[in-house]
Amino acid sequence: MAFIEHSDAFDLAATLESGQAFRWRREDAQNDGTTWFEGVIFSNIVRIRQVTGGVEWDASPDSETSMAPILRDYLRLDDDFPAIISTLEFDDILRGMFAEYKGIRILRQEPWECLVTFICSANNNIPRITKNVEDMAAAFGSPIQGTKTEKNAFPTPAQLADAGEASLRKLGLGFRAKYVAAAARRVADGEFDLYSLREAAYQDALDTLVEFAGVGDKVANCVLLFSMDKCEAFPVDVWIDRALREWYFSDSEEKVSRNKMRAWAQARFGEHAGYANQYLFHGRRLRDRK
């Protein structure tokens, strides 16, 4: 059992369940009130829970020594979260949300899995996206060695390219199967390295991602934000569309397009617009549940 200390506001459960990652499973709460999550990242099964002053975790099969920096990176615990939040507190709506639920972080996921996941998100719902991702891993991913559970790593580009459109369709991906298969083929053929987009400028990386069939402005911005270090990314989905229309454009007569919404939000919220996005998304969804 390993421990990562942190002092800033950090809500592990809200972060893992905020709809940016899809392979974390909540376990039943312990008697002490803590809750374990089990997930698969970087070909490891990771269990993690939040305790006072930090997070406890273990991983298998890799050693704690090798996984520690990877997990720390994945959780972005080295971000100066209070400083980021402080750049957004000029906004009344966001300030209210920070007061209500502080500590939702942006994760730094693996780009390939993130790309496939959000290709699968098009005109879909979260339970089925989760099922699609899990089914792909079960059918085509490599078994994780040395563990009793039957979880597989997320499939590599080559594994999904070999799987092909027809078998992906059988898993229930629908029209997205074609896009996933094509993306897998492109990446497996080594046309380019997705990780290299982390070093690219936001606009260049965006232009590159939308060249994938099935990847438009919204999906690309999700991939940039959740896996490619582009905190200025601002994906506009139906929830953000609603949030902005109701909370910021309610006086406006005409309908604002989603492209204009993104440009407006990035100009308003700046280099950490992605964090604003995450809170607006969460806040708007939460309001409907109440």
Partner DNA sequence: AGCCAGGCCCTCC
Partner DNA sequence: GGAGGGCCTGGC
If one asks whether residue 263 binds DNA (CB under 7 A), the answer comes out as no
Q: Based on the shown chain and the rule CB under 7 A, indicate whether residue 186 belongs to the binding site for DNA.
A: no
Binding mask 118-147 for DNA (x = CB under 7 A): ---xxxxxxxx-------------------
Considering only the stretches 16-24, 26-34, 41-49, 151-159, report the one whose residues sit in contact with DNA under the rule CB under 7 A: 16-24
Q: Decide: is 19 part of the binding site for DNA (CB under 7 A).
A: yes
Tokens coding 228: 């490619």
Give Cβ neighbours of residue 263 (< 8 Å, ≥ 6 apart): none
Give the contacts of 82 (CB within 8 A, at least 6 positions apart).
8, 9
Task: Tell me how far apart the alpha carbons of residues 58 and 48 are, in angstroms, rounded to a whole number.
Answer: 7
Q: Which is nearer to DNA, 125 or 250 (CB)?
A: 125
Three-class SS of residue 192? coil
Considering the rule CB under 7 A, would residue 259 count as an interface residue with DNA? yes
283 counts as binding DNA under rule CB under 7 A: no
Catalytic residue numbers, as ranges: 218
Q: Residue 222, interface with DNA (CB under 7 A)?
A: yes
Give yes or no for a contact between 257 and 218, defined as CB atoms under 8 angstroms apart: no
Q: How far apart are CA 56 and CA 52, in angstroms?
A: 10
- Per CB under 7 A, 187 contacts DNA: no
* CA torsion through residues 276, 282, 288, 290, sign: negative
**Which of 116, 136, 194, 219: binder of DNA (CB under 7 A)?**
219
Q: Tell me how far the alpha carbon of residue 258 is from its chain's centroid.
A: 20
Contacts (CB under 7 A) with DNA, residues 77-116: none
Residues that bind DNA (CB under 7 A): 18-20, 121-128, 169, 172-176, 210, 212-220, 222, 235, 237-239, 255, 257, 259-260, 281
